[in-house]
A and B are shown apart, each in its own frame.
Chain A
Amino acid sequence: MSELALSVCELSKQYRIGKRAWYKTFRESLTTVATLPLRKMGIMRDTDEAADSELIWALKDVSFEVKRGEVVGFIGANGAGKSTLLKILSRITEPTEGCARINGRVGSLLEVGTGFHPELTGRENIFLNGAILGMKRAEILRKFDEIVAFSEVGKFIDTPVKHYSSGMYMRLAFSVAAHLDPEILIVDEVLAVGDAHFQKKCMGKMSDVAGQGRTVLFVSHNLNAVEQLCNQAVLMEQGKIRMRSHDVRSVIKAHLNSCMGDSAASEWHFRYETKADPWFQPLHFRITDAAGKSAPMPSGNDLEHWLEIDAEVWLVDPALKVGYVIHADDGTPVYQSFHVDGPEESWPVLSEGRHVFRTRIPPRFLNEGTYRIELVAALHNRQDIFQSGRNAPTIFLTIRGGLSDSPYWMAKRPGILGPVMEWTVQAK
């Protein structure tokens, strides 16, 4: 059995919820101190009792071990405790109970560009940020050229970073972080920086790190990244570990299933207690058949499906675009589509009030399986209203059967799509 890099034993962390500014004022503290003897004697009721009800366990009795060289991905919904766990392991905050034992030098990246100062140049920030992340000066000097080359900021290295574009800023920040080489690396959702090209480069760098026998703990909402990088996955739910396995794919599936469990459905309704968006608010999002009736799930692949968005347009804005992103069951986006994808003359004219947007998904185009469909909306190039992976209303389309009319194609074929394509064969 190989050496352990990390052993976590019944780790728990309690937080007080409510206002973030829950630091006590001096007066409150004085009151607490002054009434202490009275409370001790039971004369006065403990005022903390009421406060206790606001305490939540962000992490409760979490135990696991990680062997040297393992790459562990932590997934789960927001607030499941992933980030709290990483914060404790990076020693930023103390656990309330339990312990964690670590063997090796830890480097943690809970954010890129921590400590970057806008007034300092790129060069100066590399040194400052490197030192904050725990690198030695000599180490930074040695890797300096590599860091600059990786970041692609080139000649701007001696410009104050406040003049950088946000992309350049993030690239430089990530580059410093990427050149940190601790024995145990803790990473929280920092890969989503820069453009697609740079993200690819980041992923490459991450798999290099993972490949060098380094132990990596990795939190991400990017399930593809988790699947590609990790050889073990942990699914967290409400501060506890719900599932842990070396079969990363099965953990991801369980996560997606549990996401589905909330709505479980091919229909989404706006809950009136939540705050509506000031521009555009979908009220009802569902999958229907050609006749406009809610499609039964699972559905056959030989049927056509329509996505129907019944929505209120509050403010008419020519930049408004409404659409959807469809994801395969492992989280891979299949494609996205917007109601303004056609030429400008063909765009529907919106006015204030209720509208029903409908779009067709052709039959025998998707494959057997469950697809996650997110409703996305944005003011083009200005502002996201419903953003994929963040606040997009989500429904699921499950397709089973009806794959083709061919006797040779009865079972599911591998692939994200399963379209029946046209063939012609001519004798020559």
Chain B
Amino acid sequence: MSNSTAAISEVPAIHDIAKKAKPAQKFTLEIKASKGWVALNFREFWNYRELLYFMAWRNVMVRYKQTLLGVSWAILQPFMTMIVFSIFFGKLGKIPSDGIPYPIFSYCALLPWQLFAHSMTESGNSLVANQHLITKVYFPRLCIPTAPVISGLVDFAVAFIVLIGMMFYYGIYPGWAVVTLPLFVLLAACTSMAVGLWLSAMNAMYRDVRYTIPFLVQLWMFLTPVAYPASIVPENWRWLHGLNPMAGVVEGFRWALLGRTEPPGISLLVSIVMVMVMLVGGLFYFRRMEKYFSDRV
């Protein structure tokens, strides 16, 4: 050990350096242990927007690689579900559909629903699926659960083409309300993002979450008027229904595109507030848990 002490003294000890105050020296980054809740850093997230784009692009590219049908899966999934729904709920179950042909009634709801369900599932599993990145490279972790939501939008856009075809087929043409459609798409994306943030961060800590997600999706679907119209929910329970943001989204879709249902009212407002609360809470929770990801995931 004697030779090592000699060697250390060659370099001035850190305390000496600190004492010689150097006003000229500036640092661009300080790394230290964070405590408790951490401020959100959107500027950095914005700087990494290209990475976000590449990650979303990777998800899209990889999803249908080595499949025969390729991107048509994005159409087939909601389309097949629509057929099954039309047979069992529409024809056999005689579930009312507000006077709209049942196939388009359900397909119109399945689109935002699948956008939500797929994005949320993938977002919720994203941190675990990308653990090799988390333990090897630094970038704003928020990119990871966000990217699946963006790639979910791509699938949504593809499946939307079929809806346009179906609308021609059934001769249903939307009115001015169609301009509000982007709002509902955004609301669906925000909902999946909000839930995805909570789930992904918890998933990194407790793998129990992974097994909860499919169950959650299933349950949530029954609480959302995908297979049935919101009008069968008793009037004085509507506001409670609004606590489920996806109910607002699905009803909004039907109103904006098919036009025959009543316009969304107070329940939509409840949905929007609900999503905002979940999203902001999710962002802070995610940010707070961020420091544990690389060691625990």
- A-side residues, CB < 8 A to B, are 3-4, 7, 9-10, 15, 22-26, 29, 63-65, 87-106, 108, 110-111, 114-115, 117, 119-120, 124, 127-128, 131-134, 136-137, 160, 235, 241-247, 250-251, 254
Contact = CB atoms under 8 A, between A and B. Distances in A.
B46 to A, nearest CB: 13
A99 B7 contact: no
Contact of A245 (B11, B53, B205): B11
B10 A245 contact: yes
Contacts of A93: 291, 294-295
Contacts of A254: 3-4, 7
Contacts of B204: 23
A64 B11 CA distance: 9
A23 B296 contact: yes
Interface string B263-291: 00000000000000000000000000001
B237 interface: no
A92 B4 contact: no
A134 B139 contact: yes
Interface residues of B, number: 50
A94 B31 contact: yes
Contacts of A99: 30-32
Contacts of A98: 32
B25 A3 contact: yes
B62 A120 contact: yes
B47 to A, nearest CB: 10
Contacts, number: 151
A26 B26 contact: no
Contacts of B54: 127-128, 131-132
B57 to A, nearest CB: 8
Contacts of B207: 23, 25
Interface stretch (B85-93, B130-138, B228-236): B130-138
Contact of B33 (A90, A95, A101, A235): A95
Nearest to A183: B28
B243 to A, nearest CB: 24
B66 interface: yes
Nearest to A16: B295
Nearest to A244: B11
A26 B208 contact: yes
B260 interface: no
B33 A117 contact: no
Interface string B133-167: 11111110000000000000000000000000000
Contacts of B65: 119, 160
Contact of B17 (A65, A94, A106, A245): A65
A23 B206 contact: yes
A119 B7 CA distance: 51
A160 B26 CA distance: 45
